[in-house]
Amino acid sequence: MSMYDNLNAMQQKAVFHTEGPLLILAGAGSGKTRVLTHRAVYLIEEKGVNPYHIMAITFTNKAAGEMRDRIDRLVGMGAESIWVATFHSTCVRILRRYIDRLGYDNNFTIYDADDQKNLMKEVCKRLQIDTKIYKEKSFLGVISSAKDELVSPEEFTLQAAGDFAKEKQAAVYREYQAALRKNNALDFDDLIVKTVELFQNDAQVLDYYQERFRYIMVDEYQDTNTAQFQLIKLLAEKYQNLCVVGDDDQSIYKFRGANIKNILNFEEFFPNAKVIKLEQNYRSTQNILKAANGVIAHNIGRKAKELWTDNAEGEKIDFEQFDSACEEADYIARDIQRKVQSGKYKYGDCAILYRTNAQSRLFEEQFVVKSIPYKIIGGVNFYARKEIKDLLAYLKTIDNGRDDLAVRRIINVPKRGIGAATLSRVQDFADQMGISFYNSLKMADDIPDLSRAAARIKPFVNFIQTMRSKIPYLSISQLLQEIIEETGYVKELEEENSEDAQARVENIDELVSKAAAYEEGQEEPTLSGFLEEVALVADIDNLQEGSDYVVLMTLHSAKGLEFPNVYLAGMEDGIFPSYMTITADDPTEIEEERRLCYVGITRAMTNLTITCARQRMIRGETQYNKVSQFVREIPRNLLGGAVMPRSKEKNQSENSLQSFRHASSKVNPIFNTRHVYQNKSYQSTSFSSNRTSKISLEYTIGDRVEHNKFGEGIVLQIVEGGRDYEVTVEFDKVGTKKMFASFAKLKKV
């Protein structure tokens, strides 16, 4: 019996087709890695191809290692001659040998992210650019995107003509690239760009590698950017024996530069291409695949295919809708406990997938309380994230100032120009006087040899003291909002305009929501109590390490993985898909989000649970969201659980709005002055009249207003709450939102 007899008919076709361009459209769980490895074996054993002439390119070192191991097991002797590597390692090997032909030394340095940031600081300083206004990360992001598209500094400069912001970016790009050249250094994007440049400018080198790589295979082709496509196209130009494997329905990395057109237009780039579809799935049940097919069929920009399986029909998809995100997290935690205790699954069989890292917080808290072992993949514990630790350090310092680590952490966040030598002198003074580091800062004028440095310390101390004086008058969530506003923490992240920065902003929003939720659940909420609760939840060191734990991760991190029992959480319009996607003018944005949903559904092997909440706290504001349109795209007969018929969806939305209005007229659950000020020796009435003047509103109920993010809407409710008003607006595009007037900054239309 041949090893190829274990392949299905379409897999065999893909393995046996060896000459000319080949596009293998490999659906989720269809065995694409198996096809690639067997194809390499077939080329060697049946077609007599020298392993030296075979190249396999992947995206990660792990994938390359797995492919190498599989080929070695199947081929044996000679397999080591096959070139199996990532894009970047491939280019490094080529450039180490030939980059001198581009005017570089062959012993060039490769700059990592920190090196790039340090170099960009020098560039900005040289160009006299104020990095408080123009962020280094923002420039690096623009340059990386340009390199992904093979746009040189010169081309970028021409395209930027007449646009002040882009002209500044062009100047930085030119100076940055010149600095790299001077240092004989390349960044990671340059590894691809310079290899393409080498091939385009040196026919001898290109011919050498075209002869070397007569048979080329590329994995995860849907994730390639323009520069990577051009690299592959040049290498395959001579013999045309290019086999690419990918799934346009799983193209989810546009934000990293991936160009879906590379796979959608493959036949245009290679007119003689053969297309083979792998649609048989070996991973999931029939119902899970039908749900995935039902969702992805709504995309227009895709190649038609439909997953199917010989596996059992399986259970229906469990759809559950809850009143709040807290109830959602509690249900999932209890459901996992129940399934583990019944012996149906182990903890390691379970995965919770969500759209943003910030969503992990509620699950982490539930798991700690219920002693469920868990691990976050592709992220860190919510309370261990830098932005969360920074803001908690501010709260700790404001609370008592005795936590020297907290004070030292934030004294230069944001940058205040307080150097290490100054901090050392402050610490020495604190040690001599037997006082805390913060109290030493308060006495900066009395510390010898500080001179001008004392002037830099005073604004920090004044800020902390001012915040302390506001504790009697502000709720914890308001105090946190004021810290964020006054320090410019979120503003600085927003100016970076990067995916990482956006994720960090979402985490900060979640911390504000945590503070608001704490206030709502306590009769006498205090800052000390909040910090104590957070510290207890964040302390997960006592969890036993091992392989049997529930996995929490974003949908992007889940690609390529599979789990018997999967939970897709937060499936609401506004969360997934996000408001930015829903309101975007570009229709391809929603299609990318739908592909991400498709990836999430197809991670499940035997059981899939989809959950959502009618209301969820975002940035300390309660939002009322509809069930995600992606859930509504799943055929109704595939859903079990608390499923609401489509015909009632409108009524459900209206009922939720009526319930909200009724609840709002009774009490404001977030800004409850009776709770917040109960133990502060101030009555809420005297607080509003004597302590702080309330902001004035230019609009009233029934007026149309505009929000800088949500667009236009109608004011439904205005509730007085001490020093602020809580305003409920039904926005045209994103539904009903409840927010504080001082933070919403609504404008009457």
Give the SS3 label for residue 21. Answer: coil
Q: How many residues does the chain have?
A: 749
Buried b (16+ CB within 10 A) or exposed e, 447-474: beebeebbebbeebbebbeebbeeeebb
The span from the CA of 215 to the CA of 217, in Å, is: 7
Q: Which of 148, 189, 219, 335 is catalytic?
A: 219
18 vs 161, 269, 406, CA distance in Å? 48, 18, 62
- Is 250 one of the annotated active-site residues of the chain? yes
- Integer-rounded Cα Rg, in Å, for the chain is 29
Q: Which of 220, 349, 364, 510 is catalytic?
A: 220
The span from the CA of 549 to the CA of 551, in Å, is: 6
Tokens representing 152 are: 């040189």
Burial of 363 from C-beta contacts in 10 A (0-12 / 13-18 / 19+):
buried
Q: Which of 409, 514, 603, 614 is catalytic?
A: 603
The span from the CA of 532 to the CA of 550, in Å, is: 26
Give the SS3 label for residue 630. Answer: helix
- Is 220 one of the annotated active-site residues of the chain? yes
Sign of the CA dihedral with 666 first, then 669, 671, and 677 last: positive
Residue keyed to tokens 């900005």? 124
338 Cβ partners below 8 Å, 6+ apart? none
Q: Which of 11, 12, 32, 330 is catalytic?
A: 32
Burial of 502 from C-beta contacts in 10 A (0-12 / 13-18 / 19+):
middle
Residue keyed to tokens 């610490």? 427
Q: Which of 250, 280, 397, 478 is catalytic?
A: 250
Q: How many CB atoms lie within 10 A of CB 206?
A: 17
**CA dihedral defined by 360, 363, 365, 371, rounded to 10 degrees?**
-130
Alpha helices in 435-497 (DSSP H): 437-442, 453-469, 476-487, 489-496
Alpha helices in 498-648 (DSSP H): 499-520, 527-538, 555-558, 579-582, 587-601, 629-632
Residue 380 CA, chain-centre distance (Å), reads 12
Q: Give the helix/strand (H/E) hosting 351.
A: strand 350-354
Tokens representing 287 are: 């119902």
Tokens representing 38 are: 């067997």
- Is 32 one of the annotated active-site residues of the chain? yes
Type of residue numbered 395? L
Say if CB 403 and CB 531 are below 8 A apart. Answer: no
The span from the CA of 134 to the CA of 171, in Å, is: 13
Q: Are strands 724-731 and 242-246 parallel, antiparallel or unpaired?
A: unpaired
Type of residue numbered 74? L
Q: Which of 13, 18, 33, 632 is catalytic?
A: 33
- Is 33 one of the annotated active-site residues of the chain? yes
Q: Give the helix/strand (H/E) hosting 407.
A: helix 404-410
Catalytic positions are 32-33, 219-220, 250, 603
